[in-house]
Structure formats: structure tokens, C-alpha cells
A and B are shown apart, each in its own frame.
Chain A
């Protein structure tokens, strides 16, 4: 059996790595867990053809290695049978982790919205397609329409272009007006402004605001996309549609552990403490603020979890500045009302159970839709259609129950509380 760790960090992206590094550098016993094959999360996902990370990521990876953090990859937390114990499912076994303090750095996923044809193969998330290319998908010479909303679209378009893809258009649903005001706020942050300028240089693609996808076409896979631009529609042939509507926090584990969640975000105090004693949260689950904020919050959480409150407090001013950027992001890339009218009556909303829009319209709540249509009851447990229906119908999410993910029956058996011995055979 593994020892009890002073600090266990869930999630190996920038926030989790920063938390693990700062905690371990204080001399406490730290473990970090991630469900992917490698640490790095999404933004620091390494390309399959490269041996090592570059830039800022490489510095953090070096510190992580030096700090002797116990690393568990390919492990998914699915339940907490008792406080201080987490059960994770691995490839062919179950891992039990005991912690004194816990840092939740579970990151974010892309927001998806249903529109006719969005379930066709080769319609992917923007970050989703980038992850596929980093995992070996050849993209050189392919035509990719990038669409949706958020700064991630620019980064993805720049990356794909660098890999040799042709990007006929980048469709951003936000208005020019909002984008211009967002651009002005970047002037207050020299680092972000420089990043934006560099992206613009690398991008050199047809960027179109006030533009969004209305339908994807194809028989066995995507062949073309129809977009709406200032009231006009246009159909563009392409191999892939990379389409994401900003980011959604992964707050399911926090909810399962009893942490307070408001408007999908995990509530934390100055030291990144959640409302549950001994449980901290850092990065995108607390607010969508990007890499810089994730690194700062991760460090504060890691230091605080290791008992170094004074060191953590030194990072407060930096975090305050980074949080301002998060608020601008939220305002700029909020979804416009027109997107609620994208699905037609036979558009699939829940991809796991193939529940169509017309069946959901009859219901007044997420709970009612789940019980009557199986919407959100499939393998992804509503991680895709939950945020979509929250936007389409203004439904509130339900409570989260274990197991957090579908798991094997033998994994589930390890999670159940054993019956007291005297019960068996007494009757």
C-alpha cells in the first residue's frame, strides 16, 4: 500500500504542476495524478514527435522532476469512499491514494453547442483537433475551418497553420465591438499584448467576427460547413471543422467532494481553500483565466497546502492582476443569443444517448429531461450536453454522484464500504 501523502494534486496541467512543485519544494510528500498518458494537461500537451517540452513548460517540468513528486498518469479518480481517500481507475488496476491535503487542479474542457451536422466524424473541438494533431494526426494540406469563440481559437489556428493546414476562415461569434474593447485591455498587460501580437503574426488567416457555424454537411464524414456572417450564409468545403465555444470548468470532482460550486465554478478563499477543510482548488475550475492565472493559483494552493501561508500571500498581487484578465475574457466571449436557435428539431443534443432537440423542448428542467429522455445519462455523464442545455434552456445542473466516470465492475467493488462482519451470517 502507498503511504499517506501530505499533499495529493489531481490534474497534471500547469496549475497542478505548479501546486505540486511548490508544495514538494517545501519538503512535504507530494503525489500528482492525471488521467492522460503524460503530464502537461492540454496547453502543455507535448507533440508525439518531440522529445521534450520547450519554454516555460520545460522549466516547470525540470522543477517537478527535481522535487521528487510521485507521479501517477493514466489514472482517473472516480470516488472517495471516506474523507482522505481517493480511488482511481488505471489501465488494469485500481489505485488507492490517501491524502492529508488535496489540491484539485482538474482544468477545463471545451464548451460545445449543437447545430445540424455537429455529430459527423471530423467535426471536433478546436482544442480537440489540436490534441489529435499533437497525438499524431497528419494535418498538412488539409482544409480546416476554425469556429466558435474564445482566445483558444487563435492559438489553435496558428498551431494548425504551422503544421501545414490550410485555414480558409476563422469564425468568431463575438462582435468586433467586444473584441476591440478586449484588445484595449490587453494593453494593460504587456506580456499578454506581446503574445497577442505574436499570434497575429503567426496567424495570417481570414479572421471573421460576428460569424458562427450553422450547419455541417457530409454523409459518412464532414465535407463542408455553412457559416453565418452578418446575416448572410456561405458554405465552405473542408476536411475538418475545429469548433469550440470557449471553456467549461471541470468541477465534477469538486462537487463530488462537497465543495461549494456557484455558476459552475468552485468557490475558494484567498489561499485557494474550498469550503471543505483540507481541499484546495486552483486554475480553470475557479475561473477561466488562462495559463498565467493557473500557474499563480497553483503555486498559492501548493504553498498553502504545505503550510507556507506567508509565501503564498506574496503571490496575491500577481493573482489580482491575472484575475482582471479572466473577467475580460468572460465578458468578451459570452455566447450571443442567436446561438440558442442553432439546433433544428431533429438535431442531436445528447451524443451518448442520441437525444434530439425536439424531445428536450418538452421539459422544464435538466432532471426532468434526464429521467424521461436519458439526456446526460450516457458515458460522458452530461459533460458535453450538460453545459449545452444549460445555455440552450437555462437549466441548472444536478448533483454529482459516484462513480464520477463509468468504471469497470471490479473497480466499483473496491469502492464500496465493506459490510460489518457481524451482519453476515447472523440472520
Chain B
């Protein structure tokens, strides 16, 4: 296995280094261990990991409701949890 190189993205305004090839869901897990707040105020993170459950949805580069488990991190991406 080669050593993965890293890129930097922004999560909730803070810089975060993630391995190249990591999904945004992984970045969220590393940074805040939640992706969104539910309609009754619970913290939620990924459940299915494969784009079915929508629990991992976040804001990416100003667009809402993105399924973070299916999207790879890109340099300078700005991600925030859905509150």
C-alpha cells in the first residue's frame, strides 16, 4: 500500500487535512463526527455509507443536501454541516 498524500479542505470554517481519495463523509467524521441536525434536533452521521439513507448530507461549496458519502474531497472544498 502506498502512503496516501493529503489535501486540505475547509469544514465548518476550519482547515482539515484529508487523504487523497477520501469522501466528504470521512472528512466530516474526522472533523466533527456528525453531518447534520435532524428535524427534532438530534445529531446525525452516516448510516448506510452508500447513498441510500441521506443521513450524511451536508453543504458543499454553497450547495445544500449533498450526500457526502458519495462525493470525494477536492482541494479547497468548503463543507459545512446541515444545522
Contact = CB atoms under 8 A, between A and B. Distances in A.
Nearest to A239: B33
A258 interface: no
B25 A135 contact: yes
Given A137-B29, A221-B43, A384 B53 contact: yes
A132 B54 contact: no
B69 interface: yes
Interface in A163-221: 220-221
A34 to B, nearest CB: 10
A135 B54 contact: no
A297 interface: no
B70 A74 contact: yes
B48 A109 contact: yes
Nearest to A243: B47
A119 interface: yes
B70 A384 contact: no
Given A121-B33, A122-B33, A136-B26, A351 B21 contact: no
Nearest to B51: A35
A384 B71 CA distance: 21
Nearest to A374: B39
Nearest to B68: A135
A287 to B, nearest CB: 19
Contact of B47 (A76, A125, A353): A125
A384 B47 contact: yes
Interface in B33-72: 33-34, 38-40, 42-55, 57, 65, 69-72
Interface size range on B against A: 35 or more
Given A132-B25, A135-B23, A380-B54, A127 B49 contact: yes
B77 interface: no
Interface in A39-76: 42, 48-51, 74, 76
A379 B65 contact: yes
A378 B47 contact: no
Contacts of B38: 119, 351, 354
- From B1, B29, B34, B57, name the one whose CB has the most chain A CB atoms within 10 angstroms: B29
A352 B4 CA distance: 35
Given A127-B49, A128-B48, A351-B47, A135 B26 contact: yes
A25 interface: no
Nearest to B34: A121
B11 interface: no
Contacts of B53: 351, 380, 383-384
Interface of A: 35-37, 42, 48-51, 74, 76, 109-110, 112, 119-125, 127-132, 135-138, 220-221, 250, 348, 351-354, 378-380, 383-384, 406
* A-B CB proximity, top 9 nearest: A136-B22, A48-B21, A131-B49, A121-B45, A128-B49, A379-B54, A354-B40, A136-B26, A135-B23
Interface of B: 1-2, 4, 18-23, 25-26, 29-30, 33-34, 38-40, 42-55, 57, 65, 69-72
28 contacts: A35-B51, A48-B4, A48-B23, A50-B1, A109-B48, A110-B48, A122-B33, A123-B47, A124-B46, A124-B47, A127-B49, A132-B23, A132-B26, A132-B29, A135-B22, A135-B23, A135-B25, A136-B19, A136-B21, A137-B30, A220-B34, A220-B43, A348-B42, A351-B47, A354-B38, A354-B39, A378-B54, A406-B65
